[in-house]
Amino acid sequence: MSDTDTLWALPTALCVEYEIIDEFWNSYPYVTGTSVIGIKYKDGILMAADMGGSYGSTLRYKSVERLKSIGKHSLLGASGEISDFQEILRNLDELILYDNMWDDGNSMGPKEVHNYLTRMMYNRRNKFNPLWNSLVLGGVKNGQKYLGTVNMIGVHFEDDHVATGFGNHLARPILRDEWHANLSFEDGVKLLEKCMRVLLYRDRTCSSICCSLGTYQIAKITEEGVTISQPYALKTFWNFAAFQNPTVGAEGSW
């Protein structure tokens, strides 16, 4: 038996010493986050996401931060598998550290970070070991606003507003109707809250329990940097007549 065969025959615990642990961590997502919405506004980029981590249809975690600052000029939001998002953040930390080590007075902008993410996702897809995430990357550098998205197989594009998951079906129509280039910060926040409220009502993975507990965040990035809000709750209305008397008008021959 060759040395390589001997190593692969070892228990996983012993393989740690030889650094040959199988890298196929997730063949299917387990703990996931739902939709992220990003829009351009007058001064920069706004993103919104809740902080729920769902184990199947169970809201297992209520304080998962899915909006993160990347370097000086970028803001990243992620839906999908939380552990894969952590792996992406680790790779991005190494990328930003390597960029800073050049100490050449330049820093990586949002377009470069987005391109890196598209290559990473496509590379992992080609290895049949994808990172189970859809990502939104926004930023501002030299007065230029940038907003793009990439999914788990590397499909990517740029736009004035983007959304992942179910938000791509429910929130984008609202954004197409109401978004405009001169949105103020206040109007942009109201628009994002409207979209997130629709998702709260209609997307079962965007749990009403999670949002009502105050685990919802909005982040902005401008030339001055990234600001991520404290968790807060959306105002909701559940007193519809059909909710109070669900059987009224539903009488049948049974």
Range of the domain at 118: 31-235
21 domain residue, yes or no: no
177 domain residue, yes or no: yes
Average pLDDT of the segment spanning 155-177: 96
Give, for 218, the enclosing helix (H) or strand (E). Answer: strand 216-222
75 domain residue, yes or no: yes
Q: How many CB atoms lie within 10 A of CB 156?
A: 18
CA 129 remoteness from chain centre: 19
Average pLDDT, the chain: 87
38 domain residue, yes or no: yes
% residues pLDDT > 90 (the chain): 69
- DSSP class of residue 122 equals H
Q: What's the pLDDT score for residue 241?
A: 81
Q: What's the pLDDT score for residue 132?
A: 96
Contact between 38 and 192 under an 8 Å Cβ cutoff? The reply is: no
Any idea which residue has 């970070």 for tokens? 113
Any idea which residue has 């009224």 for tokens? 248
- Global pTM value: 0.84
- Residue 119 clears pLDDT 60, i.e. is over it: yes
- DSSP class of residue 163 equals E
Residue 232, SS3?
coil
- Residue 72 clears pLDDT 80, i.e. is over it: yes
Q: How many CB atoms lie within 10 A of CB 128?
A: 8
Least confident of 4-13, 34-43, 116-125: 4-13
Rounded Cα distance between 160 and 146, Å, is: 8
CA angle in degrees (0–180, nearest 5) for 142-144-148: 130
69 domain residue, yes or no: yes
- Residue 10 clears pLDDT 60, i.e. is over it: no
- Residue 244 clears pLDDT 70, i.e. is over it: yes
253 domain residue, yes or no: no
Q: What's the pLDDT score for residue 252?
A: 65
The better pLDDT of the pair 6, 178 is held by 178
CATH number for the domain harbouring residue 40: 3.60.20.10
Number of domains, the chain: 1
- Residue 210 clears pLDDT 60, i.e. is over it: no
Closest C-alpha to 46, from 188, 182, 233: 188
- Residue 142 clears pLDDT 70, i.e. is over it: yes
85 domain residue, yes or no: yes
245 domain residue, yes or no: no
Any idea which residue has 């209609």 for tokens? 202
